[in-house]
Amino acid sequence: MRFAIAGKGRSGKAAYDFLRQRGDEAEFLDDADGNLTADKILGFEAVVLSPGIPRAHPAIQAALSAGVPVYNEIDIAVPNWPECRFVGITGTNGKSTTTALLGHIVTVFEPNTFVGGNLGRPLCEAVRAGEHPKYAILELSSFQLETLSKLRLDVAVLLNLTPDHLDRYPNVEAYYATKKKIFDWVKANGVKIPPDPPFSKGGFIFPKNLLGEHNAQNTRAAILAAQALGIPDAVIQKGLDTFPGIAHRLEILGFKNGVTWINDSKATNVESALAALACFKSGVHLILGGHGKGASYEPLVQAAQKCVKKIYVIGEDTPNIVKAFGSEAIQAGTLDRAVKLAHQNAISGEIILLSPACASYDQFQNFEHRGEVFRRLFHDL
């Protein structure tokens, strides 16, 4: 079969390598190469769509109109794991933390567990490596949910819904509707876990390295999903006790002169940054900015009055952020300069927090790259 791979990101490359190994023909089509066009795509029997390319792209619309099947990388992989039990996790915020936490708990119970999807490894990478997991814990983005057709879930978790990706969706209702599609893929005997479900704590001790009430909610969701899989409470607690935390998500990097440095580069929207600020009472030096997503910064302005001492603004959306916060916001421009200024100004007992409320790709490859640069700048001080 001849597949067009739309997009050359990690999931596209994983699908390409797997399909070629399987004996199919595959070819990359990408805007960067100028070949992701309607006339080109119609020469293929199927399309594998990377999450970074919208379904509204003219070439993808042309394929759909012509009846050419459009899959995502997950659909290509799941038929290879017929015995596997699948958990899907989505939501505007917290899905990476919840996926990592549940993945850790399930791995304590059954080491032959795959954790990936939108977080970490694409499924095709694992299939190509000959892996046959008993459980697969998948973070699913709205972009992946748009295109799914073959995945069937034993457990589906919807964590929360707040405005996001308004640069990709016509309105917030369309974005919410896409997120809710996760429940369409639950098996007849599967379990649906909605936002903020009833929970009797049952004596569980939550991880110490997950700060804030929002992470308590994420932990509750992970426990409920683990129980839905039939994992004993004692094993769940062992997983909670040994969870190492998640990089770039309220990650405590360390201390310098009594100042706590926290890397929350994963906060790519306003709601995530609000959740971070809710963890602190005072003395926060907040590094904010990047590629804005069109959401209002007004909720952050209100939250900052309670706990933020100084704001350092970086990146492309600086004019909008400064407009919201006024003259008190320091225009640092780059992360390097923001770190130097915050380091000069912060005193013992205070916090330097990178929680940008924006996407990273104006100045960085992705939020991980932004977080790693912040980590390096901290260690270089």
pLDDT string in tens for the chain (381-residue length): 999 999 999 999 999 999 999 999 999 999 999 999 999 999 999 999 999 899 999 999 999 999 999 999 999 999 999 999 999 999 998 899 999 999 999 999 999 999 999 988 999 999 999 999 999 999 999 999 999 999 999 999 999 998 888 888 999 999 999 999 999 999 999 999 999 888 876 799 999 889 999 999 999 999 999 999 999 999 999 999 999 988 999 999 999 999 999 999 999 999 999 999 999 999 999 999 999 999 999 999 999 999 999 999 999 999 999 999 999 899 999 999 999 999 999 999 999 999 999 999 999 999 999 999 999 999 999
Confirm if 300 and 357 have CB atoms less than 8 A apart: yes
Q: Which fold has domain 2-71?
A: Rossmann fold (3.40.50)
pLDDT of residue 180: 97
Nearest partner of 265 among 170, 370, 336, judged by Cα: 370
CA max distance for the chain: 63
pLDDT of residue 200: 75
As a whole number of Å, the CA-based R_g of the chain is 21
Instruction: Provide φ and ψ at 312, rounded to 5°.
Output: -120, 120
User: How confident is the model at residue 163, as a pLDDT?
Assistant: 84
Do the domains 76-242 and 251-380 sit in the same CATH topology, yes or no? no
Q: What architecture is domain 76-242?
A: 3-Layer(aba) Sandwich (3.40)
Residue 232 CA, chain-centre distance (Å), reads 28
Residue ranges of the domains in the chain? 2-71, 76-242, 251-380
**Structural class in CATH, domain 251-380:** alpha beta
Per-residue pLDDT at 173: 96
The full DSSP string for 283-324 is -EEEEEESB--S--SHHHHHHHHHHEEEEEEESTTHHHHHHH
